[in-house]
Amino acid sequence: MAGKTLFALLLSAALLCSTVPALGGQAADGQTARRGRGADDYLEKAPVAAPPAQAQQDMGDPKAKALFESNCSRCHELSRPLGKNKDRNGWTNTVTRMQKVNGCPITDAEAKAIVDYLVAVRGPAGK
């Protein structure tokens, strides 16, 4: 009986340890796990297929695109935000959360430029 209890405890510990990276801190692949998710992530509509890569490259301000690529790729793949469609308010909430909660080292002006870029390539412009 004691052997079964010990086995159950060890199995539970192994399962718990395998899920810890998803709860915060450093993920197994070396990227920071997502923290501080907002309601906008849960309420968004199903992602719409991204335009072809060349079309995305031609859209938006090149300087803002460079800011987006150099800062957002520090913690996650760029395909993550580029696979979503949000309006200006949704992108503002997301970028502000990355800046204020997750610690992305960007200024407010850089955050605004990144939001403008994301609205241009992955959201209805002007909202």
pLDDT digits (tens, 9 = 90+) for 47-94: 555 455 445 545 789 999 999 999 999 999 999 999 999 999 999 999
Tell me the percentage of the chain whose pLDDT exceeds 90: 48
Domain boundaries, the chain: 1-33, 35-122
pLDDT band at 37 (very low <50, low <70, confident <90, very high): low
Please state, in angstroms and as integers, the Cα–Cα distance from residue 126 to each residue in 10, 30, 38, 82, 87, following that order: 54, 36, 22, 18, 8
**Average of per-residue pLDDT values in the chain:** 73
Domain 35-122, CATH 3.40.50.300 — does that match? Answer: no
C-beta separation of 117 from 61 below 8 A:
yes
- pLDDT tens digits along 95-107: 999 999 999 999 9
Exposure string for 66-97, b = 16+ CB within 10 A, e = fewer: ebbeebbeebbeeeebbebbbebebbbbbbeb
What amino acid is encoded at 33 in this protein?
A
Q: Give the distance from CA 80 to its chain's centroid.
A: 6
